[in-house]
Amino acid sequence: MAITLTLDYNNMMKEFIGEKEGFSPADFTAIEPELKAAFDTVQQNRGKGMQGWMDIIYDQENGIVQDIKETAAKIREKFEYFVVLGIGGSALGPTAVFQSLCHLHYNDLPKEKRGGPKFYVEDNVDPERMVALLDVIEPEKTCFNVITKSGATSETMAQYLVISEILKAKLGDKFADNIIATTDAKRGNLVKLVKEHGFKSFTILDGVGGRFSELSPVGLLPAAVLGIDISELLAGARAMDEHCKEADYKKNMGLMLAALQHVAMARGKNIGVMMPYTDSLKYIADWYAQLWAESLGKSVHKDGTPAFVGQTPVKSLGVTDQHSQVQLYAEGPFDKVVTFLAVKNYRKTVVIPEGCQDIPDIHFLSGHTMNELITAEQKATAYALTVANRLNYTITLEEVNAHSVGELLYLFEMQTAFAGELLNIDTYNQPGVENGKNATYALLGKSGYEAKKAELDSAPALRAEYII
């Protein structure tokens, strides 16, 4: 099946954005060797190392998807609640797909309309949040999906310890029936617990990092529990993968997106704003923020030379943030690229009724639809930024459905892979994250981190005059 997304980058070009800020075809011709090298490297490394995420959209149809569907059906039949315990990609992806493809007030629907268990994603260790969750679920009627590849993620395993103790008190030895683990096949602490307690489990393959894991069991199981067609999600990703095998960057949406942002970053556009014009795609921007920031924010190139590259992702929502952020985007520093996510056909139509005939400023809306209004506001915002010489482009979904969301997720993964090669950095490591994790372990007295604890203890003492 062909892709259904379109990319319009007219508002990145000189003819529309002006000579000073806009790009010309020559800007991309100048980097054609780098684009070819990036394309070749990504394609040649398909399925190798940390690019295992490129193969899972094909490989999982051999039994894994069926197992997920069968497990999801049992969960839907048996449990009243389904809770994801995870953080980072283990939480952002399931949240994004849930928001995209389920009723926007899913948990508030009566059970017969909802058709599945209430859904919660616990992606933090705020104690108030954990207590609040326990106020609205019944643990003995809840399936908990513990997601961590290493089984050493402090936040997730802290949640597990809290929940497992509660389940043991209520269910005794049968507590394991309420837990599903998504983790590495052989290594890590969660695998040990799977073997000890007999948890049902799904595997995160070696070459699939957290931020590239949504189209693995990490995201597919929660989606299936919610009644989302995961085969269509994967079909959309495969369609986008085929599209992104095109070597010509002018015909390859993922490579063109990487090129646009690469040239923009080279000109100091160090902020990338993602602005969906539909509430359903609101958390796609959150998921993308981790993908883009954690993949590209690196201090060194592949050869170890200083890099200090990356672009800060900012999430926005149309039209909500027209009334909070767009003033800055239109008249503030020239340091941003705005990505609009537009929808051609909304899944619902609301007609604005006749009324207020004596108030022209209101009555002009009558007879139009909310669909027309939000579309007009998206186009108007893009126009306003363009005439202010602000870089922006628009990705349009024909409709928000499982296939198009699969396309979109995979498109952004491909864009990120190509962009990492253009920047000549390791797209898949995260040393900045690891340093913070190690400091946390040291502060909590984890064995093996004594040197890090000594390092923390030797930091300069805080000065009272700098505390108000």
Angle, helix 32-44 to helix 402-423, in steps of 10 degrees: 120
Q: What are the Cα distances from residue 355, in Å, to 125, 197, 350, 375? A: 49, 64, 15, 22
> How many whole angstroms separate alpha carbon 152 and alpha carbon 430?
16
Residue (of 74, 90, 284, 115) closest to 106 by Cα position: 115
| Contact partners, residue 333, CB within 8 Å, separation at least 6 | none
Residue (of 346, 340, 350, 348) closest to 400 by Cα position: 346
Q: What are the Cα distances from residue 254, in Å, to 8, 236, 259? A: 13, 14, 9
Cβ neighbours of 94 (radius 10 Å):
30
H/E run at residue 39: helix 32-44
Indicate if 437 belongs to the active site.
yes
On whether the CB atoms of residues 53 and 413 are closer than 8 A, the answer is yes
Q: Is the peptide bond before 319 cis (omega within 30 degrees of 0)?
A: yes
Which of the residues 14, 69, 170, 437 is marked catalytic?
437
> How many whole angstroms separate alpha carbon 440 and alpha carbon 119?
30
User: Strand locations in 248-391, DSSP E?
Assistant: 271-276, 298-300, 306-309, 312-315, 336-343
User: Strand locations in 80-215, DSSP E?
Assistant: 81-85, 118-122, 142-147, 179-183, 200-203
Indicate if 262 belongs to the active site.
no
Residue identified by tokens 């999801």 is 72
Q: Determine phi and psi for 288, rounding to 5 degrees.
A: -65, -35
> How many whole angstroms separate alpha carbon 167 and alpha carbon 245?
48
SS3 8: strand
Which of the residues 294, 407, 413, 421 is marked catalytic?
294
Q: Is the dihedral of CA 10, 14, 20, 23 positive or negative?
A: positive
Residue identified by tokens 């929940």 is 163
Which of the residues 20, 105, 186, 323 is marked catalytic?
323
**DSSP letter at 311?**
-
- Give me the amino acid identity at 234: L
Catalytic residues: 294, 323, 437
